[in-house]
A and B are shown apart, each in its own frame.
Chain A
Amino acid sequence: MSKGGAVTTARCPFRYALLVWCLVLHTGSLLAAPKAPEVYIGSKVAPCAPSPILQDGEVYLPVTFRYAGLPVTVFAEGETVVVRGPGQLEGCLPALQHQGTLYYPVNRACAALRLSARWDEKANRLSIAPRVDAIRPEMFDRLMTLRILAGYPLTARLELERNPGQLIIEIAEAHLFNDSTLIPVNQGGITRIRATQVSYQPCLVRITVEAEAMPQYRALSARATTEICLRLGVPENNTPEAYTVLDRLLDAPGSELTGLAVTGIDVGTSEEGNPLVVVRTNGPAQAKVLRLGSPPRVALDIENATIQAQAPAVPPHTPLVQRVRLGQFTEKVARVVVDLVEEAECVLTQGHEPGTLVLTLRSALSRVQVTGLKGLKVMVDPGHGGSLSGTTGLSGRREQDINLDIAKRLYRLLEAAGAKPTMTRYGDDTVGLRARPAMANSQGVHIFISIHCNANGRPNSARGIETYYCHQHSYRLARTLHYRLVKELGAPDRQVRRRPGLVVTRETKMPSVLLEIGYMNHREEDRLLGTPEYRQRAARAIFNGIAEYVGASTTAAPVAAEEAALAVEELEDAVVIEEGEAAATVEEQEGQ
């Protein structure tokens, strides 16, 4: 009883302490904490929680921040932040961790996305808006074609001034590439073009064409377009006749448009689960389909049409489609480009509604999926070999031998499942680093898997699986194989990493990965990699990952008796693959 009493009184001071401590924290933050900076997208406040942070004079935004109204996505990929905008715009930025959230430098992100970010320290305000990238005047026969380019659709408001003669082009919700710019012209009665950022809040850019008399213009595209295009001129003198001549010049062929426009684009999924891209126009439209490779994409050219629509967002979990972008390909052709995750087949049909075009996509791999792994061409690349040695384990085992053994086991599993595996080497041969992706490209394989084991600068400091990829179309394969290995080997997850410099993943045209299956300078992992059982499990995990990737079911596949026997066999004689085949492949490559 007395014991309990003592405990209670002893707690008393702690309670006080807690109370005072809370008070200090609370009043402190009320009185002295700097106000969180406000973030604006264009002229509108965009909520940002947690707040941006300032470091080394740079503003960092949390990865959770949403660019309201702009087709921008931001996500963490491992420990970097990837920002993606319309078209091919993409940036991969170093991130910093602060109180459990990833932050990225907003200036660098915006530069990659053709946006502009202005930090106003006095106003404690960050303004982000589409950037007017270029102002391009072109003179021809006293007429000027003026193009104003941006990465995002902008709308121009146009106004004529008589005294002095001016055409004023106002673009709201945009930033100019710099605070002000002067372009001298001195031709055809046009003196110069002056562009200024009137203000960042509200967000307004003004471009003034200064002339000797009041100019006349035709707006070829000025609403919701990434290329504002005007044709303008100044009369030779201030007479009504001169204005009539000018009008005729402005309306001359070349400036007329048929009036056909792309008015909307949607991405959906058919009843069979195939992705659809629906393009709506305001009239009967003629279109051509072009299939383009590396990166795989489909282009849809709509003739005699302009674009009056925005690039659609791709709903999450849409198969195959990475993004859709659109642009005025030539003055008369509107182009819709569908960026694909992997090669796909496509069919273009007329929709039920008049003027609607429907593009249906089907995975080129899906035909393989129907029969499981049958016919799937997989190139397995055992890293290093011959005189190009890899790392050496703590036990003295060579990486090139472990790689080859796992590769052979994987080869066997694939072959047994009806796939068509090939290898870059079948023995301890020297095969050049560039020769490996070249083999895969020339043989037109579906996927490429490079097998390696790891080591770093301090023994026993790291263990686990690392998976590397280069091109975006390899990410799904990388992820699938990575998590299979992590799960089935029970190894630590050291993340899927995007590295642009790795030769085999960079140079291959098909989805490709480089797997680092454990650290050979970690005592325990080195020991595991030295056992045939572990290597068989690794091969089985990769095989299961490939099956998952192509949509084949493997859960039902029992481990065959033969495989169980393989699991305990030692390296050299575990799997014998015809050497002749290997030698031929290597020679063929070297001859090229």
Chain B
Amino acid sequence: MRRVACLAILLLALVGGLILWSRAQRPPSEPPAPTPPRAQNAPESPASQRITIYLARELPRGTQGEFVLSPVEREVAATAAPTMASLEALAAGPTPAEESEGFRATLPEGTRVLGVEREGGVVTANFSRELRDNFNGGADWEEIVLYSIVNTLTELEGVDSVRLTVEGAPIESIGGHLSAEEPLRRNSEIVVRGKRGE
């Protein structure tokens, strides 16, 4: 009996060692890419298009409550205007499954997308007043909110920069830390910043 136990443990140790060893040889890997939610039973058809939006995601390790921007994919009707569809998907926030993976909505509660205009490479996104009035956050959270909009829109072909308006009027800032007066370009640093915590 004792010998059997001995052998079993030896075997376990061997397998465990091998697994650990093979892991040690691999460079650190990216976090598993979040799987895009797909409409049930809907085969890939030309009736839909895929868009990428940037949501806030809490880093699983490191300092608590640290957020970065992380891309997720959405499938929308092929006929939808991609700029508007992207912003509406952003306003809808994460799916329950994504939420359990640490994703969070970025647009303040009640924020509605009133419209999008495009002129050359510049997109003007017009939001309801809740974008500013319901914003709750410090300097870094404002950066997350602002660039979730900018990075989502600049993900689209030919969009270089994004101008924000609230009820049609230009705004100085969303939350009082960062300027939103000028059209903003993409900020990739806030996305890769997540790699630090991995």
A residues apposed to B, CB below 8 Å? 9, 12-14, 16-18, 20-21, 24-25, 28-29, 32-34, 53-56, 79-80, 94-98, 102, 383-384, 388-392, 432-434, 452-458, 461-463, 466, 468, 494-495, 497, 499, 501-504, 514, 516, 519, 521
> Would B176 and A461 count as touching, CB distance under 8 A?
no
Q: Could you pull out 21 A-B pairs where Cβ atoms are within 8 angstroms?
A: A13-B6, A16-B9, A16-B13, A17-B10, A21-B14, A29-B21, A29-B25, A32-B25, A53-B27, A55-B27, A392-B136, A434-B172, A456-B65, A456-B67, A456-B137, A456-B138, A457-B144, A466-B140, A495-B63, A501-B143, A503-B173
Docked-complex contact A96 and B195, CB < 8 angstroms: yes
Taken together as a complex, chains A and B put the C-alpha atoms of A200 and B117 apart, in Å, by: 51
Question: How far is it, in angstroms, between the C-alpha of A287 and the C-alpha of B119 when the chains are bound?
Answer: 54
Of A25, A462, A463, A519, which one neighbours B21 at CB under 8 angstroms? A25
Contact assessment for B179 and A503 in the assembled complex, using a CB-CB cutoff below 8 Å: yes
Which of B5, B62, B66, B137 neighbours the largest number of chain A CB atoms within 10 Å of its CB?
A: B137
Q: Are A455 and B137 in contact (CB under 8 A)?
A: yes
Q: Across the interface, do A12 and B138 meet the contact criterion of CB distance under 8 Å?
A: no
Q: Provide the bound-state CA to CA distance between A519 and B138, in Å.
A: 8
- Knowing A456-B67, A466-B139 are in contact, say whether A94-B14 is a contact too (CB < 8 A): no
Given contacts A461-B64, A514-B139, contact A98 B6 (CB under 8 A): no
On whether the beta carbons of B140 and A497 are closer than 8 Å, the reply is yes
Chain B residues whose CB sits within 8 angstroms of the CB of A9 once the complex forms: 2
Question: CB of B17 within 8 A of chain A?
Answer: yes
**Structural contact, B9 and A14, CB atoms closer than 8 A:** yes
Please give the distance in Å from A67's CB to the nearest CB on chain B: 22
| B residues 35-83 in Cβ contact with A at 8 Å | 56, 58, 62-67
User: Which chain B positions have C-beta within 8 A of A388?
Assistant: 172-173, 176
Known: A17-B12, A96-B198. 4 other contacts (CB 8 A): A55-B28, A390-B176, A458-B58, A458-B65
Docked complex: B1-39 residues within 8 A CB-CB of A: 2, 5-6, 9-10, 12-14, 16-18, 20-21, 24-25, 27-28, 30
The reply to whether the CB of B177 lies closer than 8 angstroms to some CB of chain A is yes
User: Is B17 in contact with A94, judged by CB distance below 8 angstroms?
Assistant: no
| Residue of A with least CB distance to B143 | A501
Indicate if the CB atoms of A466 and B138 lie closer than 8 Å: yes
B56 proximity list for chain A (CB < 8 A): 457
Please judge, given known A-B contacts A13-B5, A13-B6, whether A20 and B13 are in contact too, CB under 8 Å. yes
Smallest Cβ distance from A52 to chain B, in angstroms? 10
Among the interface residues B66, B133, B137, B177, which one has the most CB atoms of the partner chain A within 10 A?
B177
Residues 137-191 of B at the A interface (beta carbon under 8 Å) = 137-141, 143-144, 172-173, 175-179, 189
Given A24-B14, A96-B28, A456-B138, A461 and B196 contact (CB-CB distance below 8 Å):
no
Task: Please encode chain B, from 118 to 148, with 1 for each CB lying within 8 Å of some chain A CB and 0 for all others.
Answer: 0000000000000001011111110110000
Residues of B within 8 A of A452 (CB): 138-139, 177
Q: Which residues of A contact B133 (CB under 8 A)?
A: 389
Please indicate the chain B residues that have their CB under 8 angstroms from the CB of A463 in the complex.
65
- B92 surroundings in chain A (CB, below 8 A): none
The complex places the Cα of A495 from the Cα of B196 at a distance, in Å, of 14
Given the complex, which residues of A lie within 8 Å of B5, measured CB to CB? 13
* Residue among B24, B67, B135, B138 with max Cβ neighbours from chain A (10 Å): B138
Chain A residues closer than 8 Å to B140, beta-carbon distance: 456, 466, 497, 499
Q: How far is the CA of A294 from the CA of B66 in the complex (A)?
A: 33
B67 contacts A457, C-beta separation under 8 Å: yes
Say yes or no: is B106 at the interface (Cβ < 8 Å to chain A): yes
Which residues on B sit within 8 Å (CB–CB) of A466?
138-140
Tell me if B196 and A97 are in contact (CB < 8 A). yes
Question: What residues on B are CB-neighbors of A55 within 8 Å?
Answer: 27-28
Contacts of B173 in A (CB 8 A): 388, 433, 503
Q: A79 and B28 in contact (CB under 8 A), knowing A24-B21, A456-B67? A: no
**Segment 85-110 of B: residues with Cβ below 8 Å from A:** 104-106
